[in-house]
């Protein structure tokens, strides 16, 4: 086993709120920041994941994902080991996603090919909420073998606690994103806390979390943040490095 550094919440130029996040720029930034793997999760879409995987080659690990905006206006970062899972979720989300993007208001939604070139604009309103409930999204992701993280829980825009005021008992989360100060000793109904950037700019990508595990994968990460089988996590890679060097 060894330490893997990670950023589990990274957008691309497909998210209308992201800026200068092409596949090449993302991979370069992750490499420079010393990140072993990142999760690509655009709003309601996984359409640029293949392009980032192609740009990453073997330099940076890429977990495919989507940040689904549910019927309740709660964001859920849905991660998968394989692109097929993310695309299966995307298909269901696209069917339940009304509206067309207005670039003047939300910004452009760029699609990339595996050569890293812009090939067009996504017309769907990716920033909007789909008609699927949180429970429906979580159940579907679970069936596909994926994992759901509630991002930026404190925010009144898209955060589960900020929007609803609480975490409903029947919402089974794999983990919850924590502002750094919250993570220490955090235990909310046994839900593991994780740190991720929610990067919309390349400079935000960083080694925000470290996993001590055998290989990059969701089951390994799940063992790590639950502290099972000798696996473990650390929110600050620098502190991990210091601890390892001591
Ligand atoms: Zn969000
Ligand atoms: Zn996000």
| Mean pLDDT for the chain overall | 90
Average pLDDT over residues 166-186: 75
Tens-digit pLDDT profile for residues 130-157:
999 999 999 999 999 999 999 998 899 9
Q: Does residue 189 sit in helix, strand or coil?
A: coil
d(CA 111, CA 236): 33
Q: Is the pLDDT of residue 186 over 60?
A: no
d(CA 110, CA 20): 10
Ligand 2 midpoint to CA 198 (Å): 5
Q: Is the pLDDT of residue 209 over 70?
A: yes
Q: Cβ-count burial of 102 within 10 angstroms (0-12 exposed, 13-18 middle, 19+ buried)?
A: exposed
Return the ligand number nearest the Cα of 70.
Answer: 1
Tens-digit pLDDT profile for residues 72-86:
999 999 999 999 999
Q: Is the pLDDT of residue 164 over 80?
A: yes
Tens-digit pLDDT profile for residues 18-47:
889 999 999 999 999 999 999 999 999 999
Neighbours of ion ligand 2 (CB under 5 A): 67, 198
Ligand 2 midpoint to CA 232 (Å): 25
Residue-level pLDDT at 170:
87
Residue-level pLDDT at 166:
86
Confidence bin at 113 (pLDDT 50/70/90):
very high
Check if the beta carbon of residue 160 is closer than 8 Å to that of residue 171: yes
User: SS3 helix, strand, coil % of the chain, rounded to 5?
Assistant: 30, 25, 45
Residue-level pLDDT at 180:
57
Residue-level pLDDT at 178:
79
Residue-level pLDDT at 193:
80
Residue-level pLDDT at 185:
45
Helices (H) and strands (E) in the chain, counts: 9, 11
Could you give all domains of the chain from N- to C-terminal order, each with its CATH number?
2-245 (3.20.20.140)
Confidence bin at 236 (pLDDT 50/70/90):
low
For the entire predicted model, the pTM comes to: 0.92
List the end-to-end C-alpha distance of the chain, in Å, as a whole number: 18
Return the ligand number nearest the Cα of 200.
Answer: 2
Dihedral of alpha carbons 204, 91, 164, 171, sign: negative
What phi-psi label fits residue 91: left (phi over 0), alpha (psi between -120 and 50 degrees) or beta?
alpha
Which of 56, 47, 38 shows the shortest CA–CA distance to 15? 47
Residue-level pLDDT at 246:
38
d(CA 81, CA 88): 13
Which of 216, 41, 236, 208 shows the shortest CA–CA distance to 141? 41
């Amino acid at each position: 086993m060894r330490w893997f550094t990670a950023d589990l919440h990274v957008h691309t130029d497909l998210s209308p709120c992201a800026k200068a996040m092409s596949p090449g720029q993302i991979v370069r930034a992750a490499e420079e920041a010393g990140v072993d793997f990142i999760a690509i999760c655009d709003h309601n879409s996984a359409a640029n994941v293949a392009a980032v995987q192609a740009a990453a080659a073997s330099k940076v690990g890429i977990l495919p994902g989507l940040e689904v905006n549910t019927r309740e206006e709660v964001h859920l970062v849905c991660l998968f080991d394989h692109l097929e899972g993310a695309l299966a979720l995307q298909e269901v989300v696209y069917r339940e996603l009304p509206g067309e993007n207005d670039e003047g208001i939300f910004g452009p939604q760029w699609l990339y090919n595996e050569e890293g070139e812009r090939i067009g604009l996504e017309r769907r309103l990716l920033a909007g909420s789909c008609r699927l409930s949180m429970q429906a999204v979580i159940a579907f992701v679970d069936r596909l073998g994926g994992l759901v993280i509630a991002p930026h829980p404190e925010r009144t825009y898209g955060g589960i606690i900020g929007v609803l005021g609480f975490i409903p008992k029947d919402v089974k989360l794999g983990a919850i994103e924590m502002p750094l100060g919250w993570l220490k000793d955090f235990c909310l109904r046994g839900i593991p806390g994780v740190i991720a950037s929610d990067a919309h700019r390349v400079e935000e990508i960083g080694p925000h979390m470290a996993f001590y595990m055998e290989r990059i994968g969701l089951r390994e990460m799940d063992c790590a943040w639950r502290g099972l089988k000798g696996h473990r996590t650390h929110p600050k890679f620098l502190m991990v490095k210091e601890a390892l060097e001591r």
